[in-house]
Chains A and B, each alone.
Chain A
Amino acid sequence: MSRTIRGRAHVYSRANINTDEIIPARYLNTHDHAILAQHAMEDIDKEFLARVQPGDILVAGEDFGCGSSREHAVWALRGAGIAAVVATNYARIFFRNSFNNGFLAVECARAADETTTGDDIEIDVDNGAFRNFTKGTTRDFVPLGEFVHELLDAGGLLPYIAKKTGTTYAPAGPQVDIKASSLGAKP
């Protein structure tokens, strides 16, 4: 992965945004990332999907991603175009799911308070810096540690294992979900 990510901010400063808000359980009848992406954040912000563009960065407060273990939360956000998350801190399973997917998630205490939706921001992994070009501020974030860097560099846990065992991690094939996604029971 690129070690610096620059994009537009989407700020959700409330604490404890949970995985039911990121991707409601009523959509867990699929693991197709594209379908999940169409429902990212819909219970918390109906405008999110209309606003988000590929490469944007989500900025959040404390304990982001708490609740269930569903990796669908990371897939839905990434599928919607989010390139990385900056939060005060994370619920542990969301945090590990991020790295396991080669998806950047950093902990930076003041980010949500000091950022406004639409700001031009940057996460500089090598220097551990979170920059807000719109506001002209820079904050350090909590170092990720060597192992997490290796995971991110490999592109996630499975490519990392493939690298260690001298195999390759094949790109995603066609999903086995049925196509008629509209047939499922709706809430």
Chain B
Amino acid sequence: MSRPQTITEKILAAHSGRDSVRPGEIVNAQIDLVVCHEITTPPAIQMMKRLGVHKVFDPDKLVVTPDHFVPNKDIQTAELTKELQRFVKEQGIKHYYELGEHGICHALIPEKGHILPGMTAVCADSHTTTLGAFGAFASGIGSTDLAAVLATGELWFRVPETLRFNLNGKLPKGVFAKDLILYIISKIGVDGARYCSMEYHGDAIPALSMEARMTIANMAVEAGGKGGIFHADAVTDEYVRARTDVAYTPFSSDAHAEYRSVMDIDVAMLEPIVALPSLPSNGRFIGEVGHVAIDQAYIGSCTNARIEDLREAAAIMKGKHIAKGVKAIVVPATTSIWKQALREGLFEIFTDAGCVVSTATCGACLGGSMGVLGKQEVCISTTNRNFTGRMGHPEALVYLASPATVAASAITGVITDPRPYMN
């Protein structure tokens, strides 16, 4: 009898030819899905070639899209995108989403049916943890790691310990997945899950859409986590089956698996949360935030710019106008989400309210383009990081919140509880 294992341990064991693995062990795991974007892939391509390898291990396991600075914001980013295109062509990569089909990779991959339960997935980008929403082991890596994976199809991992979170109850109206993950990070801190996997259980989960689960898994890295993982269920299967008919093998944690810690959360007692500058762990219930006037409201990123997020924001903005002096920017996470929002009439609501709408891009989330902040500007944002300098000037201040809270704040010009604005 092998020891009881967590879902993360089982996936890593199955991909490294082992019956079981333990936290702390180093394993060499086969990688099922490699996601590439224009910032971290070009250096990896050069490194792979320096290894004397000129063909990637399996072009069909790669999915490529430019996302960080699209459309190219300057000459250098144009050069990086060209390198990515050259690579796609030279390697015969069929899963390539060019400008016009592009999207922020962590949102694009699920929507195109590339991630399946039980997979191992990597990308040289820290928010790869998003894909853990599907019951996959998904983790961010560096460019050297990526070069190694491109060349060999495998990568070393230290098997992480797991923190278990039991989410019970029903999220109240006006409280969303973003509030829940900001709450968790405020409790455990930005390094509370350092080197660990964050595993979610509880009766609140069946009611969480895949979009909501992705928001939660996405921010595992803001707690230092190696992954954030949910078990695949009927909701997962429905989402995946609508996009692909490729077979998959789900894994699940054993009843007596070992957890480093267990945290029980009654989600029914949560309220909207805002993370104050300049750490994602500075979460406060909205009632404790006080009067904070804003210069900008930003709805975007791999955390919170999926269709549900845009619908929530639009529901609040409908028939209203943003406050004078506020800039409000809406950046759907992918081109398909953009089209869907257009069809649903959300852009009319946003633009009538005084927002601008951008093509899908990482944009201002990392201070790239499309709403970069100036000195001492204050922004409330649906993104995931409010570090010093993250969205622009080092003296700009970023508050993190749900799309509903950001929308309500755009309307009033101060950080605002969305609940009175919801019918």
**Are B76 and A167 touching (Cβ within 8 A)?**
no
Known: A21-B387, A31-B42, A177-B76. A69 touches B392 (CB 8 A): no
* Residues of B132-147 whose CB lies within 8 A of A: 140-145, 147
| Assembled-state Cα–Cα distance A182/B238 (Å) | 50
* Residues of A169-186 whose CB lies within 8 A of B: 169-173, 175-178, 180-181, 183-185
| Assembled-state Cα–Cα distance A21/B194 (Å) | 19
A-side contacts of B369, CB under 8 Å: 185
Give how many B residues have a beta carbon under 8 Å from the other chain's beta carbons.
56
From A30, A63, A158, A181, contact of B224 by CB (8 A): A63
* Residues of A135-187 whose CB lies within 8 A of B: 145, 147, 156-158, 161-162, 167-173, 175-178, 180-181, 183-185, 187
From B51, B147, B194, B390, contact of A91 by CB (8 A): B194
Interface size class of A (residues with CB under 8 A): 35 or more
* Residues of A28-63 whose CB lies within 8 A of B: 28-31, 43-44, 62-63
B-side contacts of A183, CB under 8 Å: 74-76
**Are A157 and B145 touching (Cβ within 8 A)?**
yes
* A100 at the B interface (CB under 8 A): yes
* B367 at the A interface (CB under 8 A): yes
From B43, B77, B128, contact of A29 by CB (8 A): B77
**Are A176 and B40 touching (Cβ within 8 A)?**
no
**Are A170 and B52 touching (Cβ within 8 A)?**
yes
What 1/0 mask marks residues of chain A from 55 to 76 whose CB sits below 8 Å from any chain B CB?
Answer: 0000000110011111100100
Residue in chain B with minimal CB distance to A35: B76
From B51, B147, B389, contact of A24 by CB (8 A): B389
* B212 at the A interface (CB under 8 A): no
**Are A92 and B51 touching (Cβ within 8 A)?**
no
Extra 17 A-B pairs, beta carbons < 8 Å, given A24-B389, A69-B142: A24-B367, A25-B368, A28-B68, A29-B74, A63-B190, A63-B224, A66-B190, A67-B126, A69-B126, A71-B143, A71-B144, A97-B144, A100-B145, A157-B156, A175-B46, A185-B369, A187-B393
- 21 A-B residue pairs with Cβ-Cβ distance under 8 Å, sorted by A, are A20-B385, A29-B69, A31-B143, A67-B385, A68-B125, A68-B366, A69-B142, A70-B142, A71-B40, A71-B124, A71-B142, A71-B143, A93-B141, A97-B145, A145-B26, A169-B51, A170-B52, A178-B79, A180-B75, A181-B76, A185-B73
The 4 closest A-B pairs by CB, nearest first: A29-B76, A97-B142, A100-B144, A71-B142
